[in-house]
Amino acid sequence: MPDFKSETAQPPLTPLKENYKLKIEHPTSEIKTMEASCISYKDTGYFSQTVIDYIGDKAELRPFYNHRPDFNGFADLLKTKKVIADRKVLVEVLNEQYDIVSDQVNSNINLLTLENTYTITTGHQLNIFAGPLYFIYKIVTAVKLSRQLKEKFPDKNFVPVYWMASEDHDFAEINYTNIGGKKVHWWYEASGATGRLNPDTIREALNQYKGVLGMEQHAPELAQIVETAYSKFDKLADATRYMVNALFGQYGLVIIDADDHRFKQQFAPIMAQDITGQNSFKNISATIDQLEKLGEDIQVNPREINFFYLKEHIRERIVLEGNDYKVLNTDISFTKAELLEEIKRHPENFSPNVVMRPVYQEVILPNIAYIGGGSEIVYWLELKSNFEYYGVDFPILILRNSGLVVRKELAAKISKMSLTNADLFKSADIIKSGWVKKHSEYNLSLAEEWRELSSIFERVKLRAYKIDATLAPSAEGIQARLKDGIDNLEKKLVKAEKANFHTRLEHVEYLKNALFPKNGLQERTENFGLFYVKWGQTFIDELIRNFQPLDFEFTVLTEK
């Protein structure tokens, strides 16, 4: 059960090999290269009904969260927010974890010491080369929302935070990325927490990635960033921090690695209670029963014990067998007394899973909002009762911004075919049929003819009924078969006309393949790299400028 559905004490940041240091600063661009337009998430057809219900304020879902994701909701939360995080420890650990820091990041870390400063957090696994685009979109949403909240509540400070899922052990979910139609794969047999992995075997994938970037435009800049990230650090968590900081440090993004003894000490009392009392299992299971009765989606199911045992190269589930707590796939076991002592002395050896990680996050951060994808929002809705049980404030849930980036050459084809943004999200066959019906010199719809036939059949059914009432069902059956025949004939007319427009309709297939890889959203497959090659840091600037976190609409970004 990975931590983001999409985890010993930690020493300070591993020193750079050869004491390598580089400080990257990017001037914020004022150049506007994209035009934004929006459509509703529902109209895309790519989001679950539960997500649509949440952003649509379905009344039946309100018991599963505390505050609406709008400015009024934030105003209400800020009146009652209880920060239980140890701000001193938080700042101390963050300062140790950073080796390279921009003035903006340094300022935001220092702000965290103040009682009127809150975090806006998003989290994700340590996907190599930043994985798919939505990795970037999550962080952009956090940056933009922090700015908007500062404008709305100027007497308070809001710091965007990226929570690295450094304890997650699902290497297969992070060891590849797709860029320019090529899958770049880090082939390695890994075990344990991914954040602790040494990326010294990533060279082949690194060279492949840089090869796809090429040498033009901003490729050398990005190549330098990834080369430094994955060749100058001894841990994947530090490599990821470097890369994300190089892209987002100028916006004040603070990156946290919670795989640290001091953070786990704050969480230790809850860990002990939950492992021995199985409270999260009881609380969340009860909530799931309520959600299922409402017909809502269930994203994750809790286990009796929702913690792993974490040591070098292992992250294995803890299970209760008889009176002993055993670590699966190892010879490690504890009595209850031994377990409690281990938690007390070495809390860093315990790692929360997907349902307890959110509680851990809210314990160590002064957080008021969590930004997640659709599946994350759905499983967070299962968790409120568990937060209440442990006396931890439940944050406001923000659906991250989603986007589709349309290059100029594709925009020209879309315009030439007179397609709308909403059209793009339909299947290729539906787009083709609609286009042919619109542009054919013939009327390919048989709707009017069917209305005339229906009128005739109503008279036939009436006559049959008068002669013999039992004949009415037979007449209706004949009418239904005729309707099927008419529908099939209409499809054949459209198909025949499609053949006449074959060349033009090939553009539809090209557009769908380019913008919706494997019939999925671009953001869930394509890496940001080639967009960065084309636009450089302006790409990030444009995302921040155009994304509106509290509007809850899908953004189509078209190159000017």
pLDDT in tens, the chain (560 residues): 545 554 333 333 333 434 344 444 455 555 578 999 999 999 999 999 999 999 999 999 999 999 999 999 999 999 999 999 999 999 999 999 997 788 999 999 999 999 999 999 999 999 999 999 999 999 999 999 999 999 999 999 999 999 999 999 999 999 999 999 999 999 999 999 999 999 999 999 999 999 999 999 999 999 999 999 999 999 999 999 999 999 999 999 999 999 999 999 999 999 999 999 999 999 999 999 999 999 999 999 999 999 999 998 899 999 999 999 999 999 999 999 999 999 999 999 999 999 999 999 999 999 999 999 999 999 999 999 999 999 999 999 999 999 999 999 999 999 988 899 999 999 998 988 877 677 654 465 667 777 877 888 788 878 877 777 887 788 788 888 888 887 887 677 666 555 546 667 778 888 999 999 999 999 999 999 999 999 999 999 999 999 999 999 999 999 98
Beta strands per DSSP E along 282-390: 307-311, 314-321, 324-327, 333-334, 350-352, 367-372
**Long-range contacts of residues 417-421, Cβ cutoff 8 Å, at least 24 apart:** 417/504, 417/507, 417/508, 419/511, 421/37, 421/39, 421/556
Q: Which residues of 130-156 are buried (b: 16+ CB within 10 A; e: fewer)?
A: bbbbbbbbbbbbbbbbbbbbeeebeeb
DSSP assignments along 120-180, one per residue: EEEEE---GGG-SHHHHHHHHHHHHHHHHHHHH-TTSEEEEEEEE-TT---GGGTSEEEET
Separation CA 508–CA 435 (nearest Å) = 10
CA 301 to chain centroid: 19
Phi/psi for 190 (5° steps) reads -110, 155
At residue 440, the pLDDT reads 53
Q: Which residues of 500-518 are buried (b: 16+ CB within 10 A; e: fewer)?
A: eeeeebebbeebbebbbbe
At residue 19, the pLDDT reads 39
Separation CA 79–CA 85 (nearest Å) = 17
Phi/psi for 405 (5° steps) reads -95, 125
Residue 317 neighbours by CB under 8 Å, 6+ apart: 303, 305, 307, 308, 309, 327, 328
Which 3 state secondary structure label does DSSP give 424? helix
Q: Is 192 left (phi over 0), alpha (psi -120 to 50) or beta?
A: left
- Beta-bridge mates of residue 526: 178
Which 3 state secondary structure label does DSSP give 316? strand
At residue 299, the pLDDT reads 92
Q: Are 367 and 121 in contact (CB under 8 A)?
A: yes
Q: Are 225 and 243 in contact (CB under 8 A)?
A: yes
Beta strands per DSSP E along 157-313: 157-164, 176-179, 182-185, 254-257, 307-311
User: Maximum CA pair distance of the chain?
Assistant: 99
Q: Are 50 and 294 in contact (CB under 8 A)?
A: no
Which of 253, 219, 226, 257 shows the shortest CA–CA distance to 242? 226
Q: Are 178 and 527 in contact (CB under 8 A)?
A: yes
At residue 491, the pLDDT reads 77
At residue 14, the pLDDT reads 38
- What H or E segment, with its residue span, contains residue 97? helix 87-97
Q: What is the distance in angstroms between the CA of the first residue and the CA of the last residue of the chain? A: 43
- Number of other CB atoms surrounding residue 180 within 10 Å: 14
- Number of other CB atoms surrounding residue 11 within 10 Å: 11
Structure tokens belonging to residue 477: 């059956």
Give the predicted TM-score (pTM) of the model: 0.86
State the pairing for strand pair 182-185/324-327: unpaired
Q: What is the identity of the amino acid at 364?
A: I
Q: Are 302 and 280 in contact (CB under 8 A)?
A: yes
